[in-house]
Chains A and B, each alone.
Chain A
Amino acid sequence: MSLIARQMNVLIRASLLELYRRKDLVVVFILGAVLLMPLAFATPFGFSGAHIYFNEMALLMVWFFSVFITLGVSTRMFPYEFEKRTIYPLLAKPVSRGTVVLGRYLGALSASISALVLFYAAYIILCGVRQHVWFSEVLVQAFVLHVGLLMVITAIGLTGSLLLTISANVTITLLIVFGMLLFGAKLPELADQQSLAGKIALYIAYAVAPHTEFFDLRQRLVHGWPAISWGVCAVVMAYAAAYSTACLFVADLLLRRKKL
């Protein structure tokens, strides 16, 4: 195994251990169960057999919880390292700052993906038990694109953590992620209704901000629409990879310039 691969391995393992040590996942699972249990047993007007609302709520929770876990992992890494001064022995070793950024990114991403796998497993079990439908092509695509979303959020969170405090970083990243999820596709139409300055600002946001709405296949999955083509899926994943790479370049630049 090459030196860089071994270094990455160590950093990834440390991130995974950190996530499971903090027991955030346990809290999230208990919260999810508390919220979903009443919905699972609801029979409005005495009719059982309504599944869409349950699937939608469960998937919405998967979305919320995965975003919060990802942000929790990615935004805390560097601030804690600086606070506890563990970054100094790390940088004293023959590890480049770029490797540290990439290692931390891959560590945070793998921790987030591991949590996502658990969430989707819970979702599949819940829906499978209720509806006797276990797997579908859209479900696989939804998971793949969700991984793409986590790639982008982790990169933004990690980059932001070199510029802002943890709370400011989390707040701003959440605003960007959910703002774009809700309004990303409508930005050109909104821009056309604005004055020149507003139009320019919104078009810049449209070009630069992460299009989190690309990763949202909940509508297709929940309402039973057909799967998208795998070509489109690949394009969206390429977008996620490109956006994350750009963010990591900025993070690398920031870490290089940071006075330690």
Chain B
Amino acid sequence: MNFAINNRDYTLPRLRILQTLTALLTAVILQTLLTFSDCELPQREGDSMLTLVSQDTRMVLSAEMMKKADEYFHGGVKVHNCDLNDHAHDHDHDHEHDHEKDHKHAHAHNHSHDSEQSRPEVGRDPFRWINRHIHVQEHRHLQAARSVELLPWVYAATKTSPHNIMAYESGSYILSDMLNNPRLAVEYLKDGIAHNPASVQLEMSLGELYYNKIKDAGQALTHFQSALNKSLQIDEPDEDDLFMRLRIFFYLGNNAWQNGDAIRLRSFYQKAFELWPKNPMTLAMEQWLDEMKAGK
């Protein structure tokens, strides 16, 4: 384009006008957006926009690192319906609850599931045939002795975002169950609780660790009680929160049963019954009550 008139080049002045207009337009748009964000978007007192954005980014990164750990657990293969968290949520009590997000309580390395990646037919597609041979199609589970390979990602995930509760849960499972180091898992969970003081889940996991692995009922009881207090502070508990509360009642009831305290057991059973009357955990507590009545 030629802006030369009477042998004078008007290109530069016109470009400067265009630049000024663009800058002004950008300023107006930004002003409008910021005004909108002040009035309309939910604000959290004390947190700047930058803090919120960086926290979200860190959480996303942390979640991706946990996905990587899960991939390592399956021999570098992305498997969608069998993840490390299923194993991390393994509980050492004999029941199978009817919760919507039931985890089936599988134990590491000896469970079966149809989790092979969906495989479209190769047909006459030579590219797909090559890909099928190049990339691994099946998956395997990392042996417990090699689960140290998962630790760098778990460590990085919680360092990236200390609010990733699932990472703490998975990490404690790897340390206590796969690497047989429950003391280290306790320290790790305590670190998680320090960063997430309101988390019922972490407090519960710590209680379970003391109860099932370290066999320290006293410490376990302290943490179950703490978990119950935190759970009762939730204003509008959802299904998951209520299920967690049921689990706390179950453990507290189990402790009461083992100590022969029928009054405490009945109290926890009644609370559990109000939450989930037909749940196997509630029914187990009912059975303990019957046994105590029968004087067994």
A contacts, CB < 8 Å to B: 42, 44-47, 49-53, 184-185, 188-189, 206, 211, 213-214, 216-217, 219-220, 222-225, 228-229, 232, 235-236, 239
**Once bound together, how far apart are the Cα atoms of A49 and B179, in whole Å?**
13
Count of B residues near A, CB < 8 Å?
Answer: 26
The 4 closest A-B pairs by CB, nearest first: A44-B155, A223-B76, A232-B133, A53-B152
Segment among B44-52, B120-128, B239-247, B265-273 that sits at the interface with chain A? B120-128
**Once bound together, how far apart are the Cα atoms of A229 and B120, in whole Å?**
22
Given contacts A222-B76, A232-B130, contact A49 B152 (CB under 8 A): no
B153 within 8 A of A: yes
**Once bound together, how far apart are the Cα atoms of A191 and B235, in whole Å?**
46
B160 CB → nearest A CB, Å:
13
Q: Is B133's CB under 8 angstroms from A45's CB?
A: no
Q: Which of A44, A52, A225 contacts B136 (CB 8 A)?
A: A225
**Residues 66-84 of B contacting A (Cβ, < 8 Å):** 72, 75-77
Interface residues of B, dominant DSSP: helix
**Once bound together, how far apart are the Cα atoms of A49 and B151, in whole Å?**
10
Q: Is A188's CB under 8 angstroms from B128's CB?
A: yes
- B residues less than 8 Å from A216 (CB atoms): 134-135
Q: Is B153's CB under 8 angstroms from A53's CB?
A: yes
Q: Is B188's CB under 8 angstroms from A45's CB?
A: yes
- B residues less than 8 Å from A45 (CB atoms): 151, 155, 175, 184, 188
Q: Is A225's CB under 8 angstroms from B130's CB?
A: no
Q: Which of A52, A214, A217 contacts B131 (CB 8 A)?
A: A214
B contacts, CB < 8 Å to A: 72, 75-77, 120, 125, 127-128, 130-131, 133-136, 148-149, 151-156, 175, 179, 184, 188
**Once bound together, how far apart are the Cα atoms of A183 and B134, in whole Å?**
15
- A residues less than 8 Å from B77 (CB atoms): 219
- A residues less than 8 Å from B156 (CB atoms): 44
**Once bound together, how far apart are the Cα atoms of A239 and B77, in whole Å?**
25
Given contacts A50-B149, A50-B152, A225-B75, contact A188 B120 (CB under 8 A): yes
Given contacts A52-B72, A225-B75, contact A220 B130 (CB under 8 A): no
Q: Is B188's CB under 8 angstroms from A229's CB?
A: no
Q: Is A213's CB under 8 angstroms from B131's CB?
A: yes
- A residues less than 8 Å from B128 (CB atoms): 185, 188
Given contacts A52-B72, A211-B130, contact A220 B136 (CB under 8 A): yes
B117 CB → nearest A CB, Å:
11
Given A185-B128, A219-B76, output 4 extra A-B contacts at Cβ < 8 Å: A185-B131, A228-B134, A229-B133, A235-B130
**Once bound together, how far apart are the Cα atoms of A235 and B135, in whole Å?**
15
- B residues less than 8 Å from A239 (CB atoms): 130
- B residues less than 8 Å from A223 (CB atoms): 72, 75-76, 136
